[in-house]
Structure 1
Amino acid sequence: MSRARLNIFIEPEHAKRLDRLAVHKGVSKSAVVAAALASFLSPDDGDQREAAIAKRLDRLSRQFDRLERDQNVLIETVALYVRYFLTVSIPVPEGQQDAARAQGRARYVQFIEQLGRHLQRGRSLVREVHEEIEPEAEPLPVGQGEPEEAADGPAV
C-alpha cells in the first residue's frame, strides 16, 4: 500500500507526548498518528460515542427515577409517622418529664443500635415497601436493598 507523505507542524509538547507514546507502544510515530487520524476520521466513531453517551444518560435517568421514588417513600414514611405520633401522644406531666427524657434517650440508643444492625445486613425499608407494593416488578439493583440470604433478628 502506498502512503502519502505529509509535513506537519505540531506543538513541542505534543511532539514529546507522541515520542513517549510511540516508545511506550513500541511502534513508529507514523503508526500512532495514522491510528489517531483513522479514529478521528471514522464516521462510526461519532455514532459510537453518541450511543455510549445515550446509554449512560439512560442509566442515569433510571437511577434518578429510583432515587426520586425512594425519596418519596421516605418522605411519606416520616410524614405518616409524625402524624401518628402526634395523634396518639399525650402530654407528659411536669413531674414525670425527667423520667420520660431518660426513657426517650434509652429508646433512641436502642433505635440507633437496631438501625445500625439493619444497615450492616444491607436491609432496606424502601426495598421492602417496593416489594410489597409491586411484587411483580423487577428487583432493585444490588446496593438498593437487602442481600439474598435472610438476616436474623427483628427488622426495623
Structure 2
Amino acid sequence: MTARGKYTFRLSTELAARLADYSARARVPQAQVVEAAIASHLSPDAADQLEAALARRLDRMSRAIERMERHTVISNEAMGLFVRFWLTSTPPLPDAAQPAAQAKGRERYEGFVEALGRRLANGQSLADEVSRDIGPESSAGGT
C-alpha cells in the first residue's frame, strides 16, 4: 500500500458541487477523483496527450477542408463546361432581335438572382435536391 498524506484544499462552491456530482455518478470517493486529476495534470505526458489530441483534430479538419476544396473544384469545372457547351451550341441572334433578347435576358437574370436568394435563405441545396430525386433505388438498379 502507498503511504498517504493528508491535505486540505479550498474549492469554489461550483467546483465542489461538480466534484461531488461526478463522484456520485462514477461511484468513487471524491479523494480518488482529486488524486487522479492531480496525477493527470502533473503527468509529464499530459502535454503530449494534448498535442496528440490537437493533431488528430487538425487532421480531421484538414481532411474536411480538402473535401470541400475538391467539391468546389468539381462544381466550378462542371459550371465551366456547361457554360462552354451552352455558348458553343446556341446560335447567335440576328441584329434586329438583339434588344429584345437583352431585355429578356435581364428579366431572366433578375429572376435567377431572386430564386437563388430564396434558396439560400431557406437553406436549400441543388445537390440535396438532386440526391433526393435520384434516390437510393436508382443507384442500386444501375449496377
TM-score, normalising length: structure 2: 0.63
Structure 1 segment 4-153 matched on structure 2, within 5 A: 4-90=5-91, 115=130, 116-118=132-134, 120-121=135-136, 150-152=140-142
2: CA distance between counterparts of 1:151 and 1:57?
39
**What is the root-mean-square deviation of aligned Cα atoms in Å?**
3.1
Letter of the structure 2 residue corresponding to residue 68 of structure 1: E
Sequence identity (%): 37
2: CA distance between counterparts of 1:150 and 1:23?
51
Q: CA deviation at 1:151?
A: 3.7
| Segments ≥4 residues shifted beyond 4 Å | 91-94
Structure 1 residue ranges without an equivalent (≥5): 95-111, 124-148
Deviations along 1:22-52, one digit per CA (max 9) or x if unpaired, are: 2222222111110111111111122112112
- Larger RCO: Structure 1 or Structure 2 (Cα < 8 Å, ≥ 6 residues apart)? 1
Structure 2 residue ranges without an equivalent (≥5): 98-126
Size of the alignment, in residue pairs?
Answer: 110
Deviations along 1:55-114, one digit per CA (max 9) or x if unpaired, are: 2212221221222122112101111111210221136898xxxxxxxxxxxxxxxxx9x9
Partner of 1:131: none
TM-score, normalising length: structure 1: 0.58
